[in-house]
Chain A
Amino acid sequence: DAGVIQSPRHEVTEMGQEVTLRCKPISGHNSLFWYRQTMMRGLELLIYFNNNVPIDDSGMPEDRFSAKMPNASFSTLKIQPSEPRDSAVYFCASSSRGGTGELFFGEGSRLTVL
């Protein structure tokens, strides 16, 4: 079975550029989560969706960050404009309805903003 698929795996960009990270959740999962991992802050929940609807985006650090889930099989996390402090690994995870809360993680997108 295919797991959570994220792209790109690595992104290097310059400050001020727009960055788009992509995620395909596991088929049949109805919840999708975006996490950010840094050395200083650990794993932070940015936003999560249930049935394609954003439920809680209180973890999104600034208005420069936005996330969408146009359908059950695709989500994007966009940063515009990007800043060096956005450098981190961004993880997408999904889970199924009625489960025990187990999250299935993608391999992550490592973002470096110069």
Chain B
Amino acid sequence: AQSVTQLGSHVSVSEGALVLLRCNYSSSVPPYLFWYVQYPNQGLQLLLKYTSAATLVKGINGFEAEFKKSETSFHLTKPSAHMSDAAEYFCAVRTNSGYSTLTFGKGTMLLVSP
């Protein structure tokens, strides 16, 4: 069964610092992987996705993630944090059931201080 593990329920950075949110996956087949962001009182919004093309994926708002098969990882990064990046981030893996179901990690809350 496919699953994802997000390391750290909370990550704190200063404005302008590097953002690194960790995600490791488990999948018996080549995975499709996703990062979503959730701002307070809103739904989840897709940041980026990996679908077996380029291993370095660029998304919205300056975020990117690198798929590393050897490490079973799909960590999310951004070179310089903005206050507006404060939100909860979810890593997800497509469940290979023939339908497009996603299994989500527990989420990581990103806190950005001035």
Give me the interface of A with B, judged by CB distance under 8 Å: 4, 31, 33, 42-43, 45, 48, 50, 55-56, 91, 93, 95, 99-108, 110
Shortest 5 CB-CB contacts between residues of A and residues of B: A105-B43, A101-B94, A101-B100, A43-B104, A105-B44
User: Taking the nearest CB of chain A, how far is it from the CB of B110, in angstroms?
Assistant: 16
Q: State A105–B99 Cα separation when bound (angstroms).
A: 17
Whether A55 pairs with B34 at a CB distance below 8 angstroms is no
Give me the interface of B with A, judged by CB distance under 8 Å: 32, 34, 36, 41-46, 49, 51, 90, 94, 97, 99-107
Whether A100 pairs with B42 at a CB distance below 8 angstroms is no
Q: State A102–B47 Cα separation when bound (angstroms).
A: 11
Cross-interface CB contact of B102 among A4, A50, A56, A101, cutoff 8 Å: A101
Whether A99 pairs with B100 at a CB distance below 8 angstroms is yes
User: Known: A101-B94, A102-B34, A106-B43. Contact between A50 and B107, CB under 8 A?
Assistant: no
Whether B43 pairs with A107 at a CB distance below 8 angstroms is yes
A-B contact pairs, 12 of them (CB 8 A): A31-B100, A42-B106, A43-B107, A56-B97, A99-B100, A100-B51, A101-B32, A101-B94, A102-B100, A103-B46, A104-B46, A105-B43
Whether A33 pairs with B104 at a CB distance below 8 angstroms is no
How many A-B residue contacts, CB cutoff 8 Å?
57
CB-defined contacts of B49 to chain A, threshold 8 Å: 100, 102
| A4 closest partner in B (C-beta) | B43
CB-defined contacts of B36 to chain A, threshold 8 Å: 105
CB-defined contacts of B32 to chain A, threshold 8 Å: 100-101
CB-defined contacts of A48 to chain B, threshold 8 Å: 99, 101
Whether B46 pairs with A55 at a CB distance below 8 angstroms is no
| B104 closest partner in A (C-beta) | A43
User: Taking the nearest CB of chain B, how far is it from the CB of A48, in angstroms?
Assistant: 6
| A29 closest partner in B (C-beta) | B100
CB-defined contacts of A99 to chain B, threshold 8 Å: 100
User: Taking the nearest CB of chain A, how far is it from the CB of B100, in angstroms?
Assistant: 4
